[in-house]
Amino acid sequence: MNVFDSPPTRPLYRNFQDGVLPPNFCPSYVSSVKRSPRQPLVPLPQTVSELTGPTFAPPENIQPVDLTKGPHGQALGERILVSGRVLDEDGRAVAGTFVEIWQANAAGRYLHARDQHDAPLDPNFIGCASLVTDTKGRFAFETIRPGEYPWRNHYNAWRPAHIHFSVFGPAFATRLITQMYFPGDPLLPFDPIFNSVRSQTARERLIALFDWETTVPEYALGYRFEIVLRGRQETPMENKP
């Protein structure tokens, strides 16, 4: 089955709105209080190597990445299929883009030494992968729906289920980072990171769309997530290059 046979379910064009980029200083996101700069940022000249690479040859057809198969068996949790495209502001495909993804496991824990959440690790789930978009800007991967986890930002603070995306674009200097959320998550209204994007319309672009066409019977639900770089309908990012 081709996971891209179904037409896009979200219009590509909307008027650009303020509030797409989250502010550096966001008091409700407690750690930003000490980390955010107090003075205007000073742009620095970029070197040729920063602006010209690396480049990746896009594959003709998308090669889905599977995060669910571990060294000793299948990862635990609800299987999901995530597919989408990387686009520019005019809806044109961005081919050959290096994309990184990482996430918590089904219990809400990352495979990282600094994650001390009292939840089990899954020996068959590493929770990270990389891929390159094809000639049509497409990507696809199979994974486990990540679990929610507490993060001590405030009393009874829980992060909603999310998957991190890093998109490098034409050069390392253009790297953008964002998070994909899931529709209907009851934690979204309470999450200061999600709500640091002030525009409601922009926040909606961070929520994946359930995709019936890519859902596999008795196996996995499908979700569609499209990433728009800059300009009209740009996807909100955590950083600003």
Q: Which residues are catalytic?
A: 110, 149, 159, 162, 164
Q: Which residues contact 74 (CB under 8 A, 6 or more apart)?
A: 68, 124
| Distance between CA atoms of residues 58 and 234, nearest Å | 22
Instruction: List the beta strands (DSSP E) in the chain.
Output: 65-66, 79-88, 98-102, 128-132, 138-144, 149-150, 158-159, 162-167, 176-181, 209-210, 221-224, 227-229
Contact criterion met (CB below 8 Å) for 112 and 76: no
User: Which residue's entry shows tokens 């060294």?
Assistant: 71
Residue 33 tokens read as: 């209080």
User: What's the CA gap between 154 and 234, in Å, rounded?
Assistant: 30
* Distance set, CA 59 to CA 56, 138, 233 (Å): 9, 10, 26
Q: What are the tokens at 18?
A: 């303020």
3-state helix, strand, coil in the chain (%, to 5): 10, 25, 65
Nearest to 227, CA basis, from 42, 63, 97, 127: 97
Distance of CA 156 to the CA centre of its chain: 24
CB 86 within 8 A of CB 137: yes
